[in-house]
Amino acid sequence: MTVATPGSTAKPPPATEGDPRNPIHNVFWRRHRSEVEEDLSRLRSEPLTFFPGFQFVDELAGIKTPGAWVVPRHAPILEVSRKPQIYSSAQGVTINDFPPEFNEYFNSIIAMDDPRHARLRRLVSAGFTPRMLARLEDSVRDQASMIVDEVCERGECDFVTDVAARLPLRIVCDLMGIPASEHDFVFDQSNIILGAADEEYVPEFGDLITAILTAGESLSRLMDDVAESKVGVESEDLTSILVNAEVDGERLTRAELASFFILLVVAGNETTRNAISWGLVYLTDNDDQRRI
């Protein structure tokens, strides 16, 4: 499922604040899984459905959600993807209306339209060779084994924090050549960014917008320092390859590289930690699959 804000002149339905059947509102996803699945099945029967936005309150009052079209099927998703003149990604790809400053750190390759998207994709693809992917596969195995070794003697652990969140973060950091001494720092900064809509996390931040921007700036500075150390260096990590890559006379700028790193460490981290966590839930609920 994806969301888009097309330039349609169709009049959307009136807003319903906190509607539990509105998938762009957190309350939709907090219900029982059977209710969520039922509504998702209903959505998949429609090519496009508009859902009204809302404004957050309290610590999140500065963030507005203007509404979005939910696109739940493959064919219309392809149509949306191929028509950037209508469904543009250049102003951001979240349902929240964040300040323009967010684009500097958080709008990497997924938040671009052609021709800029094609240019950056050509440059980044230089780092994803069969050799690099084989190395990445080995890294996944090594990091998974180390993480299991770290928790197996305790008798108990917080699976999300100690396993599901650690694994993708370490893999991304290893891939990008981030020193092990900085892994906890990256973990903390990415959690600030990822915790934006989590009521249990938000009160720790104070000014949420400033906290997220500061975390993005901190990760950007770290990537810039790592990139500087890789200039002219032959190494197998992705940062070394991307810093020194040249395609048709063009190179990645430091800002583009930092934004790409933040994309990997935030978006790639969140999706994978959630998939691993839900994987354990479903294995716990399904003994036959767990035995397999």
* CATH number of the CATH domain containing 246: 1.10.630.10
Structural domain count, the chain: 2
- Condensed to tens digits (0 to 9), the pLDDT of residues 173-211 reads 988 899 989 988 998 888 888 776 565 655 455 677 778
Name the 3-class secondary structure at 157: coil
User: Is residue 234 a part of any domain in this protein?
Assistant: yes
211 shares a domain with 157: yes
- Condensed to tens digits (0 to 9), the pLDDT of residues 59-79 reads 556 667 788 888 888 888 898
| Residue whose C-alpha is closest to residue 266's, from 175, 192, 162 | 192
31 shares a domain with 131: no
128 shares a domain with 92: no
128 shares a domain with 90: no
User: Is residue 40 a part of any domain in this protein?
Assistant: yes
60-69, 103-112, 193-202, 261-270: range with lowest mean pLDDT: 193-202
206 shares a domain with 80: no
Mean pLDDT calculated for residue range 273-289: 94
Residue 11's domain comprises 2-97
Reply yes or no on whether the pLDDT at 2 is more than 60: no
161 shares a domain with 65: no
Q: Could you tell me which residues come within 8 angstroms of residue 264 by beta carbon, excluding any fewer than 6 positions away? A: 172, 175, 176
Q: State how far the Cα of 210 lies from the Cα of 214, in Å rounded to an integer.
A: 6
126 shares a domain with 194: yes
| Residue whose C-alpha is closest to residue 101's, from 92, 110, 112 | 92
- Condensed to tens digits (0 to 9), the pLDDT of residues 218-242 reads 999 999 999 999 888 878 788 888 8
User: Is residue 254 a part of any domain in this protein?
Assistant: yes
268 shares a domain with 176: yes
Last residue of a domain, one of 82, 97, 112: 97
Q: State how far the Cα of 53 lies from the Cα of 17, in Å rounded to an integer.
A: 8
287 shares a domain with 180: yes
User: Is residue 103 a part of any domain in this protein?
Assistant: no
131 shares a domain with 90: no
Q: State how far the Cα of 209 lies from the Cα of 196, in Å rounded to an integer.
A: 9
User: Is residue 114 a part of any domain in this protein?
Assistant: no
User: Is residue 106 a part of any domain in this protein?
Assistant: no
Reply yes or no on whether the pLDDT at 22 is more than 80: yes
Q: Are the C-beta atoms of residues 2 and 93 closer than 8 Å to each other?
A: no
Q: What is the pLDDT of residue 109?
A: 80
